[in-house]
Every structure is written in C-alpha cells, then in structure tokens.
C-alpha cells in the first residue's frame, strides 16, 4: 500500500474541505471494506483518506413527520437490518441481510455499499474501468466475461453495478442527499448511477469533493415488495443476478409497479417493460413469468454470460411472487 495522509472530520463541511478537486487527491473512508482492498491492490492511490465515521449526523435512522425515512450514510448494514423502522421496507431488508457475513455487515456502511467500485476483474487488475488493452480494444469482449453485463452492454462499459442495496432503493423511489462545497443537493437514486463513456469518468453522479450524507425513503405503507438474489453459492458470494420489486395493489390487481434488476448492467437496471407487463393484472405464476420475460427482452449475451439471462428472468418472477405472497407490511 502506498503512503497516504489521514484526516478525521467531525462535520460534513470539514470533510468536504479536506477532499480534493480530483479523485487522485483523496478518498472517503467509512467502513473501508472496499476502499482498503483497492488500495492494497494499487488500483486506488489516494494521497489522503478522509475519515467520516466521526460525523454524528451521518449515523442513524429517523422517521420524519412527512412519514419519509432518513438513513444516515454511515449507518452500518447490520444496523439497517436490525432497525424496526426499516422492517416495512421488506425488499431493502432482504437485500441488506444477504450481503457478506455478519462481520462485514457490522463494518460496511449504507453509503459505502451505494458508492463501491465495480468488482470487474479487469478493473481490479489495473486495466481501468472500461478495461482496454494497449491498442484500446475492450478486454471484456474477447476475454472471460462470465460475470459481466447482459443489459446496457453496448459499450464502452461492460462491468455490472455492484451495489446490493441500490436496486431496492430505486424500486422504492428513494433519493440520495449529496453534500459538497456549494451545499446539499438531492439526487433520485435512479439517476445517481451513470454509465461512463470515457476512461476517467465515474459510475456515480458524485464529484471528488462531494459525499453522500443521507438516503431518503418514501413511506412504504400499502406497498408489497421483495428482493430475490441468485448466488452461485450461499456463503459470502456476490450475486449473479437480483431483482427488487415494489408493487401497489388495487384489490387483486397491480395498479403500479417498479421493477429493478441488479448485477446485470453497469447501472441498476429498471425495467419499464416488466412493469408494463404487470400493471392492471392480478399476480399469478403466468403474469410473473411474463414480467420476467419482458425484463430480459433487451438483454444481449456476451460470449460467456448467456446463462445470466435466465437467472435474471427467474429472479424477476420469484421476486414478484414473493412480494405478492408476503411482501405487504
């Protein structure tokens, strides 16, 4: 690991002041479960680490008078799972409780999970976010792409968004509060993730001197929701495909739906096709299957990841059925 400065902030203003104008200047340290690995592998080389764990305002979960739920970005994943105020957001709890091990959930933070960098092995091996060889050709297309994107993969990015919480938050219509030198701004969780177009771009709507401070969740009363994940193995494994769904019902029919796939595209992938396949219909095995088919209607397999299309299709179907059967709180 390269030498670096260390600074500990006690306010968000102080933290932002300690961050630099470029990504190489500094990095935010919260749980550190991803950043420290990147630094040890010499993929990230910040000159300064800015610890935000001492900023009290970034911790905790609070219900607001308008029934929105505010989650501090430094809240750990285990605190999120254990808090009774979050129990009504079933898809979010399901997404969080399957992340890593209990030890990892005790360290990793909500904001860190949302802002973590891709797990693409070309990126982690130092070939850059868009993984090009010396001639500028994509390594992913001719190399091992078993775990890469099946949606949004027309290039130049082929990695999959690694956050396990993002799809669920987007399904609920959450917003992120971002703080920088000019103050705070709100970003819809759906708009926070972007597909980079050139090397040096980032996959988040975040500047080097900004931090995510809070996540705001609309009230989930009367909503049925669920997250379904497909892993190669149960223990300490990254998902191959996930689906988070949030449904509003009018009697036995779906009046509104938000369906978001994870780990299948460079961004959490909302599927309007799957949503349209459900709205106005009762939930059954057949309608859930039709929504799953619709969700992957635009999927495009690379040479080694065609199996992920079936996994994503099944994840959507099973998330819908789970939401219908037990997702109301």
Q: Where are the beta strands (DSSP E) in the chain?
A: 5-8, 26-29, 48-51, 61-63, 69-72, 175-180, 183-188, 211-217, 223-231, 239-250, 253-262, 269-270
**CA neighbours closer than 13 Å in the CB half-sphere of residue 152:** 24
Would you state the structure tokens that stand for residue 297, as one six-digit string? 């209607």
CATH number of 223-326: 3.30.390.50
**CA neighbours closer than 13 Å in the CB half-sphere of residue 311:** 22
Q: Give 278-314 pLDDT, tens digit per residue.
A: 999 999 999 999 999 999 999 999 999 999 999 999 9
Q: What pLDDT is attached to residue 66?
A: 84
Q: Give 149-161 pLDDT, tens digit per residue.
A: 999 999 999 999 9
Sorted by where each begins, the domain ranges of the chain are: 223-326
Paired strand residues for 229: 242
CA 287 to CA 9: how far, in whole Å?
51
Q: Which helix (H) or strand (E) holds 158?
A: none
Would you call 154 helix, strand, or coil by DSSP? coil
Residue 1, pLDDT > 70, answer yes
- What is the pTM for the complete model shown? 0.96
Residue 42, pLDDT > 90, answer yes
- Kindly state the average pLDDT of the residues 107-112: 96
Q: Give 194-217 pLDDT, tens digit per residue.
A: 999 999 999 999 999 999 999 999
Of residues 131 and 67, which shows the higher confidence score?
Answer: 131
């Amino acid at each position: 690991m390269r030498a670096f400065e260390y600074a500990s902030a006690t306010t968000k203003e102080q933290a932002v002041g300690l961050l630099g104008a470029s990504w190489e200047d500094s990095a935010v340290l919260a749980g550190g479960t991803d950043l420290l690995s990147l630094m040890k592998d010499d993929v990230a080389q910040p000159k300064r680490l800015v610890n935000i764990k001492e900023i009290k305002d970034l911790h905790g979960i609070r219900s607001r008078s308008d029934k929105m739920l505010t989650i501090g970005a430094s809240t750990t994943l285990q605190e999120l799972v254990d808090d009774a105020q979050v129990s009504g957001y079933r898809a979010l709890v399901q997404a969080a409780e399957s992340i890593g091990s209990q030890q990892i959930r005790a360290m990793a933070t909500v904001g860190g999970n949302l802002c973590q960098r891709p797990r693409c092995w070309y990126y982690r091996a130092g070939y850059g976010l868009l993984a090009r060889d010396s001639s500028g050709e994509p390594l992913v297309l001719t190399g091992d792409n078993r775990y890469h994107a099946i949606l949004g993969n027309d290039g130049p990015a082929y990695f999959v968004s690694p956050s396990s919480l993002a799809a669920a938050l987007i399904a609920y219509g959450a917003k992120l509060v971002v703080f920088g030198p000019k103050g705070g701004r709100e970003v819809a969780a759906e708009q926070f993730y972007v597909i980079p177009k050139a090397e040096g771009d980032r996959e988040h709507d975040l500047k080097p001197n900004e931090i995510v401070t809070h996540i705001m969740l609309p009230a989930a009363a009367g909503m049925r929701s669920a997250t379904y994940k497909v892993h190669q193995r149960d223990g300490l494994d990254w998902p191959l495909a996930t689906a988070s769904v949030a449904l509003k019902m009018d009697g036995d029919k779906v009046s509104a739906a938000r369906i978001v796939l994870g780990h299948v595209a460079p961004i959490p992938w909302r599927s309007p096709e799957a949503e349209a396949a459900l709205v106005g219909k009762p939930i059954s095995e057949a309608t859930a299957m039709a929504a799953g088919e619709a969700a992957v209607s635009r999927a495009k397999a690379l040479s080694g990841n065609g199996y992920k299309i079936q996994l994503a299709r099944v994840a959507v179907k099973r998330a819908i059925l789970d939401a219908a059967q037990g997702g109301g709180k």
